[in-house]
Structure 1
Amino acid sequence: MCKENILIVEDDADINNLIAKTLKKRDYLVTQAFSGSEANLRLSMEDFDMVLLDLMLPGLSGEELIKEIRAKKHMPILVISAKTELENKVEVLNLGADDYITKPFELDEIVARVNSQFRRYRKFDSNTKENSSVELKFKDLVLNEECREVKVKNKNIYLTGHEFDILRILLKNPDKVYSRGALYEQVWKSGYYGEDNTVNVHISNIRKKIKEIQQEEEYIKTVWGIGFKLEKN
């Protein structure tokens, strides 16, 4: 039985209650917040395993809340929003969201996306317990597989689940060049059709977060026309 605690942040009470009722039926623990400010307060007082988040909220906006979460915590963030433009989705992924669902939505899709995120986290937890190499090191970066933490110069950087998975793959095979398609298929577990910018967005986000601490070194190299690998200088 699932015992993960999910924070639902949605100012429309009917939508919030509907999602909460649906997830409770699937044996998830649920906490509800109806503004960005209330959600931020709850996050400061309690640990959650996932956040389902609207963007257009009273108090703190969804985008501002994502920044607050990523500055302090590591958990899946699923955005549920009426904003459908590509630039909105790219911005939110850059800020640190793991997934983006547009309104109107089907409840079965919400449940499927939630289950998918937790399966991936459980899988990596299980795999790392069987793996004798818990830490992967490269230059001033250390990735801990067991606790899913990344440090640069001994300072934590907060990656989304997909960002962590991409970096982990590159660190596991430092001499290998990965195409965008290969990374997409390994991380998202689905087919790549050559027109999705998702991998580029996540690579850019990883670089940006590393640069905030380590500006002198490059960590991920773009191999033009092929893909990405570690930058060994």
Structure 2
Amino acid sequence: METVRVLIADDEKEIRDLLKKYLEREFYTVDVAINGEEALHLFRQNKYNLVILDLMMPKIDGIEVCKRLRDQTNIPILMLTAKDHEVDKILGLSIGADDYITKPFSIHEVVARVKALMRRFLVLGSDANSHEQALLQFKGLTIDLKKYTVTVGAEEISLTAKELELLKFFASNPEQVFTKTQLFRNVWDSNYIEDDNTVMVHIRKLRKKIETDPSNPKFIQTVWGIGYKFVGEKDEKR
């Protein structure tokens, strides 16, 4: 089995050392960076499976690092921050982070989130063992889990790992209505949720990428007072 390599970027030595220690106990290979500039340098030099970013770092902050990483990779990104302001969480998610934890945090919670992100990310690829699971086809939308691509019309679009996972869950359960809590528990693989914004931000981002008119969505529809459902007409011609 290929070794999972994690990059941790945080300007607090105690946090870097703690995360490295506990993740190495899970047999992950871990590299650390003390600021955003070093994180980007390490990312260019090595192949990583997951990145943990502190929001507030010297030289280049976590938001900017996340933006630059998203231009070249769809691997899971977990954001850490000492801030508890709603705008910071929404900003982190809106620019491509897959999950978000506020300091101070439980180290066991962080490890659990990392393992869940990696497990879900790897499962997307393993689903390709079945052609039925690997290819979800609807009129105007094709989700290829083997190639890890999504095509809207004739255009291939880029999704993050979490966006693809959310779309896969919706498309695998068409017409079924899910609450925000149900979506979080199934897609983020956790019973823990501080608020609804994690789910709402990802749905908003997903709609912008797959819907012709995000304000009047065709695929991911809102069921007022309850949650969301996926509506898609199977493409019988394929």
Q: Counterpart of 2:160?
A: 159
Q: CA deviation at 1:9?
A: 0.8
Secondary structure of the residue aligned to 1:125 is: helix
Mapped contact 2:171–2:230 kept (Cα < 8 A): yes
Mapped contact 2:121–2:161 kept (Cα < 8 A): no
Could you list the per-position Cα deviations for residues 120-174 of structure 1 after superposition, in whole angstroms to 9, with x for gaps in the alignment?
A: 233333333245342223344332223433243433312242x222211222244
Q: Which residues of structure 2 form unaligned runs of 5+?
A: 234-238
Q: Counterpart of 2:207?
A: 207
Mapped contact 1:71–1:158 kept (Cα < 8 A): no
TM-score, normalised to structure 2, is: 0.81
Q: CA deviation at 1:101?
A: 1.7
Going from structure 1 to structure 2, the CA distance change for 1:91 and 1:193 (only over 3 Å counts) comes to closer
Secondary structure of the residue aligned to 1:53 is: strand
Moved more, 147-156 or 84-93: 147-156
Secondary structure of the residue aligned to 1:72 is: coil
Moved more, 91-100 or 104-113: 104-113
Count of aligned positions? 230
Going from structure 1 to structure 2, the CA distance change for 1:149 and 1:59 (only over 3 Å counts) comes to farther
Q: How many angstroms apart in 1 are the aligned matches of 2:90 and 2:36?
A: 21
CA-atom RMSD in angstroms:
2.9
Q: How many angstroms apart in 2 are the aligned matches of 1:200 and 1:215?
A: 17
Q: How many angstroms apart in 1 are the aligned matches of 2:67 and 2:47?
A: 17
Q: CA deviation at 1:75?
A: 0.9
Q: Which residues of structure 1 form unaligned runs of 5+?
A: none
Q: How many angstroms apart in 2 are the aligned matches of 1:72 and 1:200?
A: 24
Secondary structure of the residue aligned to 2:105 is: coil
Residues 1:77 and 2:77 aligned together: yes
Q: CA deviation at 1:215?
A: 5.9
Q: Counterpart of 1:19?
A: 19
Same amino acid, percent of matched pairs = 37
Q: How many angstroms apart in 2 are the aligned matches of 1:57 and 1:194?
A: 24
Could you list the per-position Cα deviations for residues 171-192 of structure 1 after superposition, in whole angstroms to 9, with x for gaps in the alignment?
A: 2244444343432332234459
Q: Counterpart of 2:236?
A: none
Could you list the per-position Cα deviations for residues 74-110 of structure 1 after superposition, in whole angstroms to 9, with x for gaps in the alignment?
A: 1111112111122211221122212212222333232
Moved more, 198-207 or 101-110: 101-110
Q: Counterpart of 1:148?
A: 148
**Equivalent AA in structure 2 for residue 105 of structure 1:** F
Q: CA deviation at 1:203?
A: 0.6
Mapped contact 1:97–1:160 kept (Cα < 8 A): no
